[in-house]
Amino acid sequence: MPVYNPPLRDMQFVMHEVLKVTDDLKAIPAHAEIDADTINAVLEEGGKFASQVIFPLNISGDTEGCKLDQKTHEVTTPKGFKEAYKTYVDGGWAALSCDPAFGGQGLPLVVNQCMYEMMNSANQAWTMYPGLTHGAYASLHTFGTDEQKATYLHKMTSGEWTGTMCLTEPHCGTDLGLMRTKAEPQPDGTYKLTGNKIFISAGEHDMAENIIHLVLARLPDAPPGIKGVSLFIVPKFNVNKDGTLGERNGIYCGGLEHKMGIHGNATAQIVMDGAVGTLVGQPNKGMQGMFVMMNAARLGVGNQSLGLTEVAYQNALAYAKDRIQMRSLTGPKAKDKPADPIIVHPDVRRMLLTAKAYAEGGRALAIFCSVLLEKVHNHPDEKVRKDSDDMLSLLTPITKAFLTDNGFNAATQCQQVFGGHGYIKEWGMEQFVRDARINMIYEGTNTIQSLDLLGRKVLGNNGATLKKFGKLVGALVMEEGVNEKMAEFINPLAVLGEQITKFTTEIGFKGLQNADEVGAAAVDYLRVAGHLVFGYFWARMAQVALREIAAGNTDPFYVAKLQTARFYFAKLFPETATLMRTARSGSKVLMDTDAALA
């Protein structure tokens, strides 16, 4: 059976020693009094919930899956899921970082980020039920009317009601301008929606008394394409004016997808047959509200793979220390045993360290993004809000794509550590691989994220936001450039920082001549940018570790951090050289291939 121990020490290191998040939070009135001890105490309890309540349900939930009653259209979640959700709600975890005006606890978003990482490690499929709710809550909190907020947000904050995002239709995935779901205005100001949606995570279940669907649909006079899409609240049960539940709405689950992973989450085919809905925001401006959910979901999916990377690593490490096979190439290490533990073999260590480096680098990026999101929403200085929003916009596609690519890579490598046992269900590794593979697909495939990064976030503003991140890199290089002990981390980072400017400009000029050049380079470009970001955070983590060791701190945690940083820069970071070369190979070798693909 797999194991999971919440990585609280590493979370504390990133939050308090590297990023010093409480210093940033002091500038935000709502969090001015928050301290590290409070954050740590909350997350310690959260770790217990993740490891003791939902982690034991991960394999059983995957085995059992969700069941649909075709007559009633009701979905039953795996055994224990509903009870675990009640424990979650009763413990106040759903309200952790929500607005106190709607019953939330008002804790910083960084607390919610770390809580969700632990829950994703423990049971990604289960975590998606409350996770989708957070995105719907954020959208309504931003664009809902006062009446809509009063009707829905209290119940969603408490966790009594859950939420979904209903976008995809059978004939359109990312290209939402092609959707056909219709919304007909009614005399009472509501709308009746008719259409079909697919791949709706947590779209139907028995864990909460109501499900609040946020649905994209077209009004009768809507212009074609994405400019004619509106956003609607469509609850499973209509809500009376006094807040009680009314009659069953005309929205139901027509089928469940039989997918390769996250079996414990109901991925529903949603049918709307005259379902009553209310408009969110302005007509034909639905993408504004939906993008709040989509961007939150993209950060959330990156966090899902971060969680899987961590739990896969923990299990592979434990196995590698216990499993004995052959002898070390440099002579027996466990002389009292007939063979050595496989952790003595170099390539086993490579696989383990790959997962460890990707987990710890991803954690730093995810926590940094949560602080940026906090500033976007709550910082009193408008310039800080704007700068934070720009930076978060740049980092969101990197967080989604780089972390999920790395997560699948890490899960696969950790499965490999187990050898044949990695393919046996009871060890849990094959489930981590299956779950991690899905994360690269939904909420915008990783190629879509790459096009978004290069086309919109970088070339779209002539690299202005990329230069802002470059200033962070430059400041660190200036600070540590003459420190010989930091040279192995700073020098490659500084080189890439200089190279990426020329690299970006070159692709931009080629793209002006032929737009396919951008599409051909985008995926490689995102990984280069991802390593620039990871390199920056790994250099900062190495910086702190070196300072602690120089000050006489004998905690082996810092030695471990340095060793992992050295591995990252020596074995993973150099991928950028190959990526820049393949990106520069251009679009011709891809597009001039009609004969090859005939």
Whole-number Cα distances in Å, 131 to 85, 169, 507: 12, 21, 37
Distance CA(164)–CA(153), nearest Å, equals: 14
Give pLDDT, residue 288: 87
The two three-digit tokens of residue 576, written as one number = 């950028």
- Asked whether 392 and 360 are in contact (CB, 8 A), the reply is no
Asked if 323 and 341 touch (Cβ cutoff 8 Å), the reply is yes
Cβ neighbours for 463, distance < 8 A, ≥ 6 positions apart: 501, 504, 505, 508
pLDDT at 20: 98
Angle at 183 between CA 180 and CA 189, to 5 degrees: 170
Which pLDDT score is estimated for 33? 95
What is the set of active-site residues? 443
- pLDDT of 177 higher than 90: no
Q: Which residues pair with 217 in a beta bridge?
A: 230
Answer yes or no: CATH 1.10.238.10 is held by domain 8-143.
Answer: no
Could you give the C-alpha distances from 436 to 2, 371, 376, 454, in angstroms and in order?
Answer: 16, 25, 29, 24
Supply the pLDDT for residue 294.
Answer: 82
pLDDT at 554 over 90: yes
Average pLDDT over every residue of 318-344: 97
Looking at residue 289, what is its pLDDT? 81
pLDDT tens digits, 408-453: 999 999 999 999 999 999 999 999 999 999 999 998 999 999 999 9
The answer to whether the beta carbons of residues 458 and 466 sit under 8 Å apart is yes
Residue 291 has pLDDT above 90, yes or no: no
Question: From CA 65, how far away is CA 569, in angstroms rounded?
Answer: 41
Q: Residue range 158-170: average pLDDT?
A: 95
pLDDT at 267: 97
What string of DSSP letters covers 222-257? Answer: PPSGGGG-EEEEEESEEE-TTS-EEEEPSEEEEEE-
Q: Is the pTM of this model over 0.75?
A: yes
Q: Is the pLDDT of residue 175 over 90?
A: no
pLDDT at 365 over 90: yes
Judged against a pLDDT cut of 90, whether residue 290 lies above it is answered with no
Provide the β-strand partners of residue 15.
none
Of 183, 226, 404, nearest in space to 303 by CA: 404
Strand positions, DSSP E, 363-507: none
C-alpha dist (Å) from residue 261 to 253, 519, 561? 20, 29, 32
**Burial code of 139-178, b = ≥16 C-beta within 10 A, e = fewer?**
bbbebbeeebbebbbbbbbbbebbbbbbbbbeeebeebee
Using alpha carbons only, what angle is made at residue 11 by residues 8 and 17, rounded to the nearest 5 degrees? 125
In this structure, what token pair is assigned to residue 230? Answer: 């509106």
% of the chain residues with pLDDT over 70: 100
Rounded Cα–Cα distance for residues 230 and 155 (Å): 24
DSSP secondary structure letters along 76-99: EPPTTHHHHHHHHHHTTGGGTTS-
Give 547 or 173, the one with higher predicted confidence. 547
Is pLDDT of 81 > 80?
A: yes
Given a cut of 90, whether residue 178 has pLDDT beyond it is no
User: pLDDT tens-digit profile of 563-575?
Assistant: 999 999 999 999 9
Residue with tokens 């290069």: 454
Composition of the chain by helix, strand, coil, percent to 5: 65, 10, 25
Both tokens of 43, joined, read 């997350």
Q: How far is CA 318 from CA 3, 10, 304, 409, 427, in A?
A: 9, 18, 22, 19, 12
Give pLDDT, residue 293: 78
Report the candidate in 497, 563, 554, 108 with the shortest Cα–Cα distance to residue 360: 563
Asked if residue 370 lies in contact with residue 376, where contact means CB atoms within 8 angstroms, the answer is no
Report the interhelical angle of 516-550 vs 464-480 (nearest 10°).
30
Amino acid identity at 528 = V
Looking at the DSSP assignment, which residues form a beta bridge with residue 298? none
Q: Which has the closest alpha carbon to 124: 300, 334, 343? A: 300
- Dihedral angle of Cα 110, 116, 121, 125, to the nearest 10 degrees: -160
Distance of CA 536 to the CA centre of its chain: 20
Is pLDDT of 393 > 90? yes
pLDDT of residue 231: 96
Q: Which CATH architecture has domain 163-285?
A: Beta Barrel (2.40)
CA–CA separation, 34 vs 14, rounded Å? 17
How many other CB atoms sit within 10 Å of the CB of residue 91?
Answer: 16
Structure tokens at 132: 């989708």
Domain positions in the chain: 8-143, 163-285, 458-593
The predicted pLDDT at position 107 comes to 97
State the Cα angle at 238 between 234 and 244, rounded to 5°. 135
End-to-end alpha-carbon separation of the chain, Å? 48
pLDDT of residue 96: 97
Q: How far apart are CA 80 and CA 387, in angstroms?
A: 44
Q: For 219-261, what is each residue's pLDDT tens digit? A: 999 999 989 999 999 999 999 999 999 999 999 999 999 999 9
The answer to whether residue 173 scores a pLDDT higher than 90 is: no
Residues ≥6 apart with Cβ < 8 Å to 145: none
